[in-house]
């Protein structure tokens, strides 16, 4: 018999089949040069997106076993690229198997910098720009025959999710290795407790609770007087614009939603929720909400109750919980308690999952092991987008319909003189989604 979760998975993937066929038709399906490197070879890496996370990911890639060399970098802005290059060089100083050697002709800047990067002979590219660009860069990297590490989320809208799923199918056919920055999958504590949950130690899972409630992230870094125009202003302050970040339910809370999907081995079929801007109302905070609360429903009726908040001086929690017929698990705390009183807590070795996710990917590249995390990265991204559509609209939003809509919130043109998807009014305020008015698709 086919399980409900497997049925959901098949329906999800079916929406991308046509797109995948289109990509495959113009791609070389044989294993490309650079897709595999022996253990003693030097792996050459390129970084696309030179912010804090990109710099961190590149540093971790350079700390993997074997010889690794950063040879190319790309970013929208030269100042970001140079700051990142210095930061990475300092981070790996003294590491005898790591080298940072990025000559000036391998430092690419601008909207097309990624194309120039992919034309080099790098073995692996790290995609760490604001996530709105991820589907574009991922598809191009797959077509260029590169191994890939891409940060989460992998898209900000339905069209982006579909593009990533289609390219993921081609990456598998080309034997490319793909890692996604949902590092909990590489964390020993999570692996242990989720396996125990899936093995039935707390009984059948009937509900989950997931949270990313905190005081918020960095304030906008650039004023309008410091930039060339609206496009640069939004790019510099990317976290506050949906076409770039997808709102914090997608950019940040995806980690917790992904844990719920991991436990279930599937993804929600619909969502209802509410949210808004209660505290972060100033014009500089762009168009995103400061709180979301969503009820996700899986095909078998299981519920996942989700909260994420960016409001200071409130109750904070970055946790996941699973409730079963025999007991409940503190997933983030790697423990559970049965209703009869028996308890379990993970007490074995712990690890740095940010480093381990790169260790695992590079091991797969060096040993030519099948490795592709793009599908579950896309599925969890779609879950977060589904939640945003539910809170923005106030409607019950269906996953199948959302993906079939293939709606894109990306700009029609990519240049500094182009107009972004949303622009401020004369007082500097952006249009904010109004529940009951906003159309999810």
Domains in the chain with CATH codes: 4-184+355-372 (3.40.50.720), 186-349+382-405 (3.30.360.10)
Distance CA 301, CA 65 (A): 44
Check pLDDT > 50 for residue 415: yes
Check pLDDT > 70 for residue 21: no
Distance CA 103, CA 119 (A): 15
Nearest alpha-carbon partner for 281 in 314, 313, 240, 243: 240
Q: Where are the alpha helices (DSSP H) in 295-398?
A: 353-367, 374-393
Check pLDDT > 50 for residue 15: no
pLDDT at 232: 98
3-state SS class at 295: strand
**197-223 residue pLDDT tens:** 999 999 999 999 999 999 999 999 999
Q: Where are the alpha helices (DSSP H) in 174-291?
A: 188-198, 230-236, 242-245, 248-251, 254-264
**251-279 residue pLDDT tens:** 999 999 999 999 999 999 999 999 999 99
Mean pLDDT of 373-400: 98
Mean pLDDT of the chain: 93
Contacts of 138 (CB under 8 A, 6+ apart): 127, 148, 150, 154, 163, 164, 167, 374
In which band, very low, low, confident or very high, does the pLDDT at 38 lie, cut at 50, 70 and 90? low
Q: Beta-strand (E) ranges in 171-316?
A: 178-180, 205-214, 270-276, 291-297, 303-310
Mean pLDDT of 56-67: 98
| Angstrom distances, CA of residue 307 to CA of 88, 214, 287, 316, 365 | 35, 10, 19, 11, 37
Nearest alpha-carbon partner for 98 in 358, 294, 331: 358
Burial 311-334, CB ≥16 within 10 A → b, else e: beeeeebebbbbbbeebbbebbeb
**309-351 residue pLDDT tens:** 999 999 999 999 999 999 999 999 999 999 999 999 999 999 9
Mean pLDDT of 147-159: 98
Cis peptide before 212 (omega within 30 of 0): no
Contacts of 117 (CB under 8 A, 6+ apart): 46, 48, 72, 73, 74, 108, 125
Q: How many CB atoms lie within 10 A of CB 335?
A: 17
Burial 13-42, CB ≥16 within 10 A → b, else e: bebbeebbeebbeebeeeebebbbbeeeee
Dig out the tokens for 325 from the structure.
């017929």
Let me know if 97 is exposed, middle or buried by CB neighbors in 10 A (0-12, 13-18, 19+).
middle
Length of the chain, in residues: 441
- Min mean pLDDT across 13-22, 228-237, 291-300 is at 13-22
| Angstrom distances, CA of residue 420 to CA of 175, 234, 235, 412, 428 | 36, 8, 10, 8, 14
pLDDT at 22: 43
Residue 364 φ then ψ, to 5°:
-65, -40
CA 107 to chain CA mean position, Å: 25
**72-87 residue pLDDT tens:** 999 999 999 999 999 9
Place of tokens 């740095």: 352
52: DSSP letter? H
Which pTM was predicted?
0.92
Mean pLDDT of 222-239: 97
Distance CA 169, CA 166 (A): 5
Check pLDDT > 50 for residue 430: yes
């Amino acid at each position: 018999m086919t399980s409900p979760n497997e049925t959901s998975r098949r329906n999800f993937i079916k929406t991308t089949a046509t797109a995948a066929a289109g990509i495959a038709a113009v791609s070389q399906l044989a294993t490309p040069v650079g897709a595999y490197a022996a253990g003693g070879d030097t792996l050459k890496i390129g970084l696309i997106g030179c912010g804090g996370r990109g710099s961190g990911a590149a540093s971790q890639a350079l700390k993997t076993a074997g010889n690794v060399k950063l040879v190319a970098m790309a970013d929208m802005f030269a100042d970001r690229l140079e700051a990142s290059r210095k930061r990475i060089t300092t981070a790996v100083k003294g590491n005898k198997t790591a080298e940072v050697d990025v000559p000036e002709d391998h430092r690419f800047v601008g909207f097309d910098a990624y194309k120039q990067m992919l034309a080099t002979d790098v073995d692996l590219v790290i995609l760490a720009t604001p996530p709105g660009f991820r589907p574009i860069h991922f598809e191009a990297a797959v077509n260029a025959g590169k191994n890939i590490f891409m940060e989460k989320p992998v898209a900000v809208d339905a069209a982006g999710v579909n593009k990533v799923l289609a390219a993921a199918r081609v990456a598998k056919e080309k034997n490319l290795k793909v890692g996604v920055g949902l590092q909990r999958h590489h964390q020993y504590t999570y692996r242990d407790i989720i396996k125990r949950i899936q093995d039935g130690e707390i009984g059948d899972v009937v509900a989950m609770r997931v949270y990313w409630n905190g005081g918020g992230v960095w304030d906008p870094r650039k004023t309008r007087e410091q930039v060339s125009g609206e496009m640069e202003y939004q790019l510099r302050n990317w976290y506050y614009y949906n076409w770039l970040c997808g709102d914090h339910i997608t950019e940040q809370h995806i980690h917790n939603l992904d844990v719920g999907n991991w436990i279930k081995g599937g993804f929600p079929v619909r969502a209802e929720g509410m949210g808004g801007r209660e505290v972060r109302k100033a014009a500089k905070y762009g168009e995103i909400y400061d709180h979301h609360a969503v009820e996700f429903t899986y095909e078998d009726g299981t519920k996942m109750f989700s909260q994420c908040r960016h409001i200071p001086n409130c109750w904070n929690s970055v946790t996941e919980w699973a409730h079963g017929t025999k007991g409940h698990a503190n997933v983030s705390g790697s423990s559970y308690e049965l209703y009869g009183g028996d308890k379990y807590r993970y007490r074995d070795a712990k690890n740095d999952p940010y480093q381990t996710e790169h260790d695992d990917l590079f091991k797969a590249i060096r040993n030519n092991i099948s490795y592709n995390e793009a599908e579950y990265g896309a599925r969890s991204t779609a879950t977060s987008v589904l939640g945003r559509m539910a809170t923005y609209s106030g409607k019950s939003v269906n996953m199948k319909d959302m993906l079939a809509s293939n709606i894109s919130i990306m700009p029609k043109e990519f240049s500094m003189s182009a107009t972004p998807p949303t622009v401020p009014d004369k007082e500097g305020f952006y249009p904010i989604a109004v529940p009951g008015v906003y159309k999810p698709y």
